[in-house]
Structure 1
Amino acid sequence: MERTRLALTAIVAVLALPLVTAARHADRAPYGDHFHRFAAPTAGAAAVRIRGAAVEAYDRGTGAPRWTYGRRGSRVLALYRAPGHAVALWADGMVTDTDTDTDTDTDARRVRWHRAVPGLGAWLTASPARAAGVLQPLDPDATMLAVVAPERVSAFRVADGDLRWLLPAPGGCAFDPARTAHTAGALLLARPCRGPHRRPRELVAVDGLGEITPGRTPLGNDLPGRRRADGGGNRVARPS
């Protein structure tokens, strides 16, 4: 009897092992990503939108959904669309870029990158409506994207999510994502300061290379191995 009980226990353990392994694998899904395809790829043009808590791609002609991308424990608050890209801002402060052109059903290939912005999640939790204005393009071709948060502006290269520059708010000041404007190739940001920290200039201008200041020598933003076409790069004087 005892041998029978031990044998049954061993069999149950062996049968349960694949389930335990699968559960652990699911728990390790990066950033809680989950991707679902509704139908086989079609030749028609696709568009993306926020649907419920996820990013959804759908057929422009029929409106039929093609796929959805969501993240466990969070939801999409804002979406920036560029050719081939859907950059989403999530309630936990994560920013992701989803490939809208490639026909694949795997998260690893569909989602290009994830970037977490410190402090952004807590600020959005207090008021999700604040998400409007957080995602801002920095050039006409949308190769650079700014994530505007009260404490800092973070600029990412859209192609690969590389963080190219940071602009922190001085003490006593905070950027206001709801008060931005695009003009003459620049993004204007309101940066109000309070009390003794008040500054004569509470409006900041930035572009893909960072804050616009006289005589700046910014880094370029091209992908590694490519020639800089944005005017970036430190200019070194000729030896006298």
Structure 2
Amino acid sequence: MIASDLRSGVERLGVMIAESSVIVPFTGAGISTECGIPDFRSPGGLWTRNRPIPFADFVASSDARDEAWRRRFAMEPAFAAARPGRGHRALASLYKADKIPAIVTQNIDNLHQVSGFAADHVVELHGNTTYARCIGCGQAYDLPWVRQRFDAAGTAPDCMICAEPVKTATISFGQAMPEDAMRRAAELAQQCDLFLAIGSSLVVWPAAGFPLMARNSGAKLVIINNEPTEQDDIADLVIRHDIGETLGPFVGN
């Protein structure tokens, strides 16, 4: 059912939240745009300005690695200034009320953790851009360490332990999805009674399969997104309005 207007959609969503005991949110880039972080696919999004750098290119080419880090450093002011929006805060309120056991996200901005979710309860399907990892041994590095070495040498640094390339702790095109995160997301989707798909275009697979998995496991499905998605026809409620305005009423005091 597509909500005819924002008010009726919010009222129906409120009833569904009240009637549910286990809610699992699944968030995409749309929840963070009001925080100053641009999305990827929409007009003016990051991918309309820069072609994504596939993982294979990052591994094979020092030039690709340098460009990847230049892009990340260029985005640092936006990431550093971003604070949780109304959508993040509303979900954190439901989490603190024990309605949400954990959250599944395609986002890499760390804003769910900042909003109040314990890090262990944020299932990051596409990783996290607020720190870096060696692609060989997995050693973690903070971004100032990377920036200092990049600026000093003019090239992306390698791992201090195994000498393999260091990359933001995100999942790039062609890189294997994190097995533990995918497993946890599947378990959450199958165990909830209300699944909230928020700010996701639902076109990136296999992540886009989780709303369908939840629906097939008996959960109610709500999709909140400005634009239509391919899964709107299976949803119990579709709200095509601004995410902050839609979820703002659920921000706790």
TM-score normalised according to structure 1 size:
0.22
Higher RCO (CA-CA < 8 Å; seq separation 6+): 2
TM-score normalised according to structure 2 size:
0.21
User: Which structure's residues are more often helix, by fraction?
Assistant: 2
The structure number with the bigger radius of gyration is: 1
User: Which structure's residues are more often strand, by fraction?
Assistant: 1
